[in-house]
Amino acid sequence: MKQKAKVFAEKAHAGQKRKSSNVPYISHPIRVADRLEKVGASDELVCAGYLHDVVEDTPYEMEDIEAKFGPRVTHLVAAHTEDKSKSWQERKQHTIDTVKYAEKEVKYLIVADKLDNLLSMEQEYQRQGDALWNKFNAGFDKQKWYNESVAANMTVGLDDDEVPAYFQEFADIVERVFGREN
C-alpha cells in the first residue's frame, strides 16, 4: 500500500515545484512519509504522509483517496487538508486547533509536514535572505506566529512516551528560524 501511495502522489504532483525553489514538489511528501516510516508509524499514516497535499494542491479529491486507500488513510489526509476557500489566517488557525486537539496520528502527520517545510525554508533563507518571505502568502511575523503556535500545541494530550523525537527537532527549528528579530 505504501508504494501505491508513493506512486499515486508522484503522478498527482508531476510537474509541480516547491514554492520557494525549483525543487520538484514530490520531494516534500516523500520526506514526510520517510520521517513517519523511520519512527515506526502505521502503514496508513505513512501513506497519508505521501498523500497529505494531493487534495489541496492537485485535481484529485477525497473520494479518489478513499477509493484507492480506504477510510483510515482518507481520515488522516482529510484531517490535515486545508480548505483553500478560507483565508490564510483561518486555515492556519484551523491547523493550530487541529494539532492541539487531534488524535496522535494526525498530530504526527502535521508536525512531520511542518518540520519538513521549515527545514526547506531554513535552507532557502540561507540562500535568499529576507526576500524569501515575499514568496509566501504571509510574511515573517505571521509565519512566526503560526509555527510557534503549532510548536506550543503539538504535545497537548500526548504522554511523554508518545512524543516522537522529531517534535523536538521542530521546536528547535522554530527557534532557529523565528527566534531572531526580523
How many whole angstroms separate alpha carbon 70 and alpha carbon 55?
Answer: 15
pLDDT of residue 153: 98
Task: Using pLDDT thresholds of 50, 70 and 90, give the confidence band for residue 96.
Answer: very high
Q: What is the CATH number of the domain that holds 62?
A: 1.10.3210.10
Distance, CA of 163 to CA of 1 (rounded, Å): 25
Cα separation, 25 vs 173, in Å, equals 21
* % of the chain residues with pLDDT over 70: 98
Q: How many domains does the chain have?
A: 1
Q: How is residue 135 annotated by DSSP?
A: G
Concatenating the DSSP letter of every residue in 76-88 gives HHHHH---TTS-H
Catalytic site residues? 56-57
> Residue 120 sits in which domain range?
2-178
Q: Which tens digit of pLDDT belongs to each residue from 47-67? A: 999 999 999 999 999 999 999
What pLDDT, on a 0 to 100 scale, did the predictor assign at position 180?
58
What's the average model confidence in pLDDT over 129-149?
A: 88
What is the reported pTM?
0.94
Work out the pLDDT band at 127, boundaries 50, 70, 90.
Answer: confident
Q: How far is C-alpha 42 from the chain's CA centre?
A: 17
